[in-house]
Amino acid sequence: MSSTADLFQKQLHETGVAIEALLERLLMAEALPGETTRPTRLLAAMRHGALGGGKRLRPFLLAESARLCGADPKAALLAGAALELVHCYSLVHDDLPAMDDDDLRRGRPTVHKVYDDAMAILAGDSLLTLAFDVMARPEIHPDAAVRLDLVLGLSRAAGLGGMAGGQALDLEAEGRYETDRKPLTLSESDIRQLQAMKTGALLLFAVEAGGILGRASAPTQNALKAYGRAVGAAFQIADDILDVEADTATLGKEAGKDADRGKGTLVQRLGLDAAKAERDRLARTALEALGIFGAEADMLRAIAHFIVKRGH
Amino acid sequence: MSSTADLFQKQLHETGVAIEALLERLLMAEALPGETTRPTRLLAAMRHGALGGGKRLRPFLLAESARLCGADPKAALLAGAALELVHCYSLVHDDLPAMDDDDLRRGRPTVHKVYDDAMAILAGDSLLTLAFDVMARPEIHPDAAVRLDLVLGLSRAAGLGGMAGGQALDLEAEGRYETDRKPLTLSESDIRQLQAMKTGALLLFAVEAGGILGRASAPTQNALKAYGRAVGAAFQIADDILDVEADTATLGKEAGKDADRGKGTLVQRLGLDAAKAERDRLARTALEALGIFGAEADMLRAIAHFIVKRGH
């Protein structure tokens, strides 16, 4: 297992480097056909929000499920970059004062702190728009129908019935729309649904997108979906556990803030020990879903291990 | 000409009714495949931002250029609804306190006044995301390559090199990023570029999209592009003239506000009379671009007349 863990760290790092290079290229100063000009300040705000940070876990999930399904690795990386643009847009908007009001992200000032709220709103909007631009490009796949499946899947995962909807539910979970000042209590299943949308939908789509690119068979796609759902849920619980346990210095953001806001997390609902057990159970479910695959799924298996063990 | 004007008003009205019905259907409570659930409050904010208002000029431009190119009218209306979702998202975000800070839109409170800033940000994000969802659907065109051309064209028109970039330049034109407190003066060509992006790009794309749907020949597409560019520029100047001339009661928004902010408009740069002359010149250019067409382009011609004459 140790050599798989080493290989995983190496592959994760290499994918991260490749994604950074692609994002750098996608956020060049030169205008593309159909664009007039790329305004300097807006582009700088977009670059601040997208470059130089993060594990690039979503692109890694996409690249590994694509490899498992025999898809072109170069195309999978570009699709991963499109997905990462959506993830970055969501962080830029979530950090805004009107939303989660965070000054730091990965130890650096957030986009609205460096620029301003207006430029952060527009930078987020433009990162999201660019994601669909990239997903529609011929380099993603020679078959237009495949690219359309990706565009459609991405929009459903990111929109009102997915990530953005989950963020809306999360704001409600804070109790900011309560009029009678009673503390809001979400059921366990409400919390699971909220998290399946807020972070789960995009993680699940990352895995599905690999299958779409590789034109995977139905059994393969179903196995990947079961894996993606479990990994997504485990990831969010692990994140909430870290938020409670970590301190500001090691995490690079204001730790414990989510709990202060009274947000609905499974850690809060079930307690820390039960949440850890649930995280581990979901990781096992993810591994079981991969049972139909051989060693070619070892990197996907390593992700499930990584989520359980990661320090930040 | 009078009967053409009557027919134009009738067609514009009918397209508006059809678009309203489509938007109503697109913003139903039921979740689509790939969505988990559509959160009530977020959906309500999206509906407030998209339903019950506006001339639906972009869908009308799309529908009329599609008709000229022999495209399926029903598909053109759906593509027009997708385009209108993008337009509505931009209004919801532009009205935010961090951006243009408007309390009224078409005589009604803006989305962030009825809900809050956070929900308005997410509603805008979700309207934009839904637009790409709709544009990728099979009902838009049986050929996937055509739908991809629309997705790609829409993202370029709406993104950092188009509409969102134009809004960023407009914020800069206000002088809010000036450090030495000198009044910012934009050249006439800077203003034309800003406006070609901020409002022109989406209006131009509306006309181009009709050509894409109808698989128009290169000469037809070039004529439509020349028309779309001129109409887009004329529309923005007409809007700026109205903003100076109209009062709050008739316009339903705080008139003169743009001028107060010192924004770069051609009215401010050239003066009111020269701006009117420029608007009329651009309308003539738009009509000339349609010279290769016969009576089948009369509705597009009527739009150019409408822009010059409209009261609000």
Tell me: the pLDDT tens digits for A201-215?
999 999 999 999 999
- For residue B99, the chain A residues in CB contact (below 8 A) are 118, 121
Cross-chain residue pair A121–B128, CB shorter than 8 Å: no
The one-character DSSP state at A217 is -
Give tens-digit pLDDT for B85-119: 999 999 999 999 999 999 999 899 999 999 999 99
The pLDDT, as a whole number, for residue B262 is 46
Mean pLDDT of B282-289: 98
Task: Please check whether residue B31 touches A, CB under 8 A.
Answer: yes
Q: Using an 8 Å Cβ cutoff, are A130 and B165 in contact?
A: no
Cross-chain residue pair A168–B121, CB shorter than 8 Å: no
Question: Cα distance from B121 to chain A (closest Cα, Å)?
Answer: 8
Q: Which chain A residue shows the shortest CA-CA distance from B198?
A: A36
DSSP for A3-56, written as a single string: HHHHHHHHHHHHHHHHHHHHHHHHT-SSPPTT-----HHHHHHHHHHHSS-S--
Residues 6+ apart with CB under 8 A from A226: A285, A286, A289
A236 in any annotated domain: yes
H-only helix segments in chain B: 2-26, 40-50, 57-68, 73-94, 111-114, 117-135, 144-158, 163-173, 188-195, 201-213, 218-245, 248-251, 257-260, 266-270, 272-289, 298-309
A28 in any annotated domain: yes
Cross-chain residue pair A121–B93, CB shorter than 8 Å: yes
Residue in B226, B252, B299, B279 with CA at minimum distance from that of residue B1: B299
Question: Cα distance from A123 to chain B (closest Cα, Å)?
Answer: 8
Q: Which two tokens stand for residue B12?
A: 């514009």
Residues 6+ apart with CB under 8 A from A147: A135, A136, A137, A138, A140, A141, B144, B148
- Measured between alpha carbons, how far is A31 from B160 in angstroms, rounded to an integer? 9
Q: Which residues make beta-bridge pairs with A108?
A: A105
- For residue A209, the chain B residues in CB contact (below 8 A) are none
Q: Using an 8 Å Cβ cutoff, are B112 and B95 in contact?
A: yes
Cross-chain residue pair B36–A162, CB shorter than 8 Å: yes
Cross-chain residue pair A165–B118, CB shorter than 8 Å: no
Domain CATH code at residue A89: 1.10.600.10
Q: Using an 8 Å Cβ cutoff, are B38 and B73 in contact?
A: no
H-only helix segments in chain A: 2-26, 40-50, 57-68, 73-94, 111-114, 117-135, 144-158, 163-173, 188-195, 201-213, 218-245, 248-251, 257-260, 266-270, 272-289, 298-309
- Measured between alpha carbons, how far is B8 from A136 in angstroms, rounded to an integer? 35
- Measured between alpha carbons, how far is A66 from A11 in angstroms, rounded to an integer? 14
Task: Please check whether residue A3 touches B, CB under 8 A.
Answer: no
Question: Cα distance from B307 to chain A (closest Cα, Å)?
Answer: 24
Cross-chain residue pair A128–B124, CB shorter than 8 Å: no
Residue in A303, A83, A27 with CA at minimum distance from that of residue A212: A83
Give tens-digit pLDDT for A259-271: 545 467 899 899 9
B173: pLDDT strictly greater than 70: yes
Give tens-digit pLDDT for B52-94: 978 999 999 999 999 999 999 999 999 999 999 999 999 999 9
Q: Which residues make beta-bridge pairs with B108?
A: B105
Give me the residue label for tokens 């807020």. A198
A159 in any annotated domain: yes
Q: Which chain A residue shows the shortest CA-CA distance from B115?
A: A177
Picking from A32, A36, A197, the nearest residue to B36 by CB comes out as A197
Pairing mode of beta strands A108-109, A104-105: antiparallel
Give tens-digit pLDDT for A42-77: 999 999 999 997 899 999 999 999 999 999 999 999
- Measured between alpha carbons, how far is A37 from B175 in angstroms, rounded to an integer? 20
- Measured between alpha carbons, how far is B261 from B244 in angstroms, rounded to an integer? 12
The pLDDT, as a whole number, for residue A255 is 52
Give me the residue label for tokens 């940000």. B121
Picking from A116, A133, A145, the nearest residue to B159 by CB comes out as A133
Scanning B34-53 for CB atoms below 8 A from A yields: 34-39, 41-43, 46
The one-character DSSP state at A139 is G
For an interface test with B, give the residue of A125, A141, A174, A189 to mutate (most B CBs within 10 A): A125
Number of domains in chain A: 1
The pLDDT, as a whole number, for residue B175 is 81
Cross-chain residue pair B126–A36, CB shorter than 8 Å: no
Question: Cα distance from A217 to chain B (closest Cα, Å)?
Answer: 18
Q: Which two tokens stand for residue A216?
A: 């995977």
Cross-chain residue pair B121–A99, CB shorter than 8 Å: yes
Q: Provide the 10 A C-beta neighbour count for residue B219.
A: 9
Q: Using an 8 Å Cβ cutoff, are A261 and A174 in contact?
A: yes
Domain that holds residue B23: 2-309
Q: Which chain A residue shows the shortest CA-CA distance from B176?
A: A116
Q: Which chain B residue shows the shortest CA-CA distance from A142?
A: B145
State whether ipTM is beyond 0.85.
Answer: yes
Sign of CA dihedral B189, B257, B197, B172: positive
Q: What are phi and psi of B164, to 5 degrees?
A: -65, -40
Task: Please check whether residue B293 touches A, CB under 8 A.
Answer: no
Q: What are phi and psi of A28, to 5 degrees?
A: -70, 165
Cross-chain residue pair A125–B129, CB shorter than 8 Å: no
- For residue B93, the chain A residues in CB contact (below 8 A) are 121-122, 125
Pairing mode of beta strands A108-109, B108-109: unpaired
Query: A215 in helix, strand or coil?
Result: coil
The pLDDT, as a whole number, for residue A257 is 58
Picking from B35, B153, B193, the nearest residue to A161 by CB comes out as B35
What value does the mean pLDDT of chain A take?
Answer: 92
- For residue B36, the chain A residues in CB contact (below 8 A) are 161-162, 165-166, 193, 196-197, 201
Cross-chain residue pair A129–B128, CB shorter than 8 Å: yes
Picking from A93, A130, A165, the nearest residue to B121 by CB comes out as A93
∠ CA B77-B78-B79, nearest 5°, is 90
The pLDDT, as a whole number, for residue A135 is 98
B312: pLDDT strictly greater than 50: no
Mean pLDDT of A145-171: 97
The one-character DSSP state at B181 is -
Scanning B189-218 for CB atoms below 8 A from A yields: 193, 196-197, 201
- For residue B95, the chain A residues in CB contact (below 8 A) are none
Picking from A41, A153, A165, the nearest residue to B172 by CB comes out as A41
Question: Cα distance from B36 to chain A (closest Cα, Å)?
Answer: 5
- CA-CA-CA-CA dihedral for A289, A290, A293, A294, to nearest 10: -140
A253: pLDDT strictly greater than 60: no
A170 in any annotated domain: yes
Cross-chain residue pair A41–B168, CB shorter than 8 Å: yes
DSSP for B80-141, written as a single string: HHHHHHHHHHHHHHHTSTTTT--SEETTEE-HHHHS-HHHHHHHHHHHHHHHHHHHTSGGG-
Q: Which residues make beta-bridge pairs with A109?
A: A104
Q: Using an 8 Å Cβ cutoff, are B84 and B127 in contact?
A: no
Q: Using an 8 Å Cβ cutoff, are A131 and B151 in contact?
A: no
The pLDDT, as a whole number, for residue B250 is 60
Cross-chain residue pair A128–B125, CB shorter than 8 Å: yes
Sign of CA dihedral B297, B302, B305, B307: negative
Q: Using an 8 Å Cβ cutoff, are B119 and B112 in contact?
A: yes
The pLDDT, as a whole number, for residue B263 is 67
The pLDDT, as a whole number, for residue B180 is 61
- Measured between alpha carbons, how far is A15 from A83 in angstroms, rounded to an integer? 14
Scanning A105-144 for CB atoms below 8 A from B yields: 116-119, 121-122, 124-126, 128-130, 132-133, 136-137, 143-144
What value does the mean pLDDT of chain B take?
Answer: 92
Residues 6+ apart with CB under 8 A from B119: A168, A171, B41, B42, B45, B111, B112
Cross-chain residue pair B35–A151, CB shorter than 8 Å: no
Question: Cα distance from B32 to chain A (closest Cα, Å)?
Answer: 8
B253: pLDDT strictly greater than 90: no
- Measured between alpha carbons, how far is B38 from A156 in angstroms, rounded to an integer? 11
